[in-house]
Structure 1
Amino acid sequence: MDKTLLKGLKVLEIVTGSTERIRTIEELADKVGLTRSNTHRTLQTLIHAGFVARDDHDNYVGGIRLFELAANQLAQLDLRSAASSAMRALADSTGETIHLSVLDGFDVVYVDKIDSPRPIRAYSMIGGRAPAYAVATGKAILAHQTESFLQSHSAQLKKHTDATITDLEALQKALARTIKQGYAVNRGEWRDGVGGIAVPIFNGLGQIAGAVGISAPLDRLTPARVRLLVPEVIDCARTISRQLGYSDRPGNLID
């Protein structure tokens, strides 16, 4: 058991859960049951990490990082709930693996998935990661990020297969095509022989909430089949977006 971590969690719990505002180390130490020096050291670590801050009245309160994590977790939970039935419908109609992804740094994290019943299928797991620039759900999300965001992560463009895009300019062109055509594709850029089709999901504020997509062996994702599947993936993303409160407007990707 990590006692240092437990101390930090206890301090965080008191700071964020107490109905009384805490202004001094002494007050906090008394509530937590630690020495003043231990409390001060733990508190400074939490402040440095952004989990605790001082408000306008000089009280200790939860920091911005704490709110960011909570908001992200709530968003993911809401996204999974909103996407569940639409993902199931897409899985039933296509017979392929369906992924629900969110962006974390320059990776996507699979927050939900439905496996294909076919013996040969895309391998992944809930909670797993993939480089956003090399998978369809990731590219669907990256297409709506700023140029400065892409530039700041360009050093992370690494080759995974012969098809991986590792040049920033080439990636930007691919993302521009994604915007124009309304969906993203992966042609074996993360795993040899495995591809995907994906469309972004928007929340009620018109912001990117994630992406939903199909993954399958490339020998099943022929150009002809991709043309047949794209409208289904777009409909799935539109349904999920509306569940999140998104209102279709001209010019949006899912219109």
Structure 2
Amino acid sequence: MDSTLLKGLTVLEAVARSEHPRGASELARELELTRSNVHRTLQTLAAAGYLRTAADGSGYECTVKLFELSSAVMERVDVRRVAQHWIHRLAEQTDETVHLSILDGAEVVYLDKVESGQPVRAYSSVGGRAPAHCVASGKALLAALPEDELAAFVEGGLPAWTERTLSVPADLCRDLAHARRTGCAVNRGEWRISVAGVAAVVFDARSRPAAAVGVSGPVERVLPQESRYRDAVLATARDISRELGCRAYPSGPSPAPGTQQEGDG
């Protein structure tokens, strides 16, 4: 393993995730590295075009080069491009925030989102992460895992984020079994106590999980309409899956009559 490269990437990630410019001293404390090492790394990243000195001299910040690279990667994630139309339509149907997410280890990563137009809504950002066992999209994707992979995930520990988090493996497994039967997973304030969500899996041409699509919003708005949101989310997941080449959606019941989108036959 190249330790110098690893340190450089660690420093770059720390600066990229920060909301303000970062200096060598605070990064050294945070990352438990020497100040001189961090200072050299920052200068190297700046010379490569990934960082620049902030205008006010308060530290280093990212340039658009990192965005350009991430955008190039995202363009190759076909599910994001295919889902664009459908997630906007789902947002119009529900007037809630819609996410398109993928599973990355013990977390989900938000590939795309459509913001709710309502003044009180769920907060998130594209590229942001959330614990998979606590959010609807994560639970939908966990429910689609093979048994051995799910067992390994559960054995890794289930941190509790709120009093409603399913941190006991047996409880989570029962909830995921229900998600498999119904086709949708539900978050009832398990990551943020005031936020709920409903999500379903998007499958690719080989019937493999490609992503999850879901809606999220305040608990008091989402949970009373859980049934309606299930139908809308599942129909959207089916539509995206079909465009990805999935011929037979492998999970969950068909949406109730009158809730299907056009062409969902």
Shift of 1:158: 0.3
Contact kept, 8 Å, 1:108 with 1:130, in 2: the verdict is yes
Higher CA-based Rg: 1
SS in 2 for 1:205: coil
The aligned counterpart of 1:193 is 194
Q: Is the 8 Å Cα contact of residues 80 and 112 (structure 1) preserved in structure 2?
A: yes
- 8 Å CA contact retained: 1:237, 1:254: no
Q: Give the C-alpha shift of residue 109 in structure 1.
A: 0.3
1:144 is aligned to 2:144: yes
What percent identity do the matched residue pairs reach?
42
Distance 1:76 1:122 in 2: 28
Q: Which residue of 2 aligns with 1:9?
A: none
Question: Which residue is 1:216 aligned to?
Answer: 217
Flag the 1:176–1:75 CA change in 2: closer, same or farther, 3 A: farther
What letter corresponds to residue 237 of structure 1 in structure 2? A
Structure 1 residues 79-94: aligned runs within 5 Å: 79-94=79-94
Deviations 1:141-181 (A, max 9, x none): 10011222222222330000000011111111110000111
After superposition, give the CA deviation of every residue in 1:189-244 in whole Å (9 maximum; x if it has no partner). Answer: 01011000001000001100010000010010133x11112111111111110111
Question: Which residues in structure 2 correspond to 1:149-228 (within 5 Å)?
Answer: 149-154=149-154, 155-223=156-224, 225-228=225-228
Give, as a single letter, the amino acid of the residue that structure 1 aligns with 2:149.
F
Residue of structure 1 equivalent to 2:117: 117
Equivalent residues, number: 185
Whether the 8 Å CA contact 1:140–1:211 is kept in 2: the answer is yes
Which amino acid in 2 is paired with 1:107? E
- Where does the alignment leave 5 or more consecutive residues of structure 2 unmatched? 6-72, 255-265
TM-score normalised by L of structure 2:
0.66
Determine helix, strand or coil for the equivalent of 2:180.
helix
1:105–1:180 distance in 2 versus 1, CA, 3 Å: same
Deviation at 1:76, TM superposition (A): 6.2
**For the residues of structure 1 that align with 2:223 and 2:241, how far apart are their CA atoms?**
27
Runs of 4+ in 1 over 6 A off after TM superposition: none
Tell me by how many angstroms 1:254 deviates: 6.4
Query: What does residue 66 of structure 2 align with?
Result: none
Q: CA deviation at 1:100?
A: 0.3
Give the TM-score normalised by structure 1.
0.68
Contact preservation (8 Å) 2:196, 2:223 = no
Contact 2:91–2:98 (Cα < 8 Å) also in 1 = yes
The amino acid that maps onto 1:148 is D
Change (3 A) 1:74 1:116: closer
* Amino acid in structure 2 at the alignment position of 1:217: P
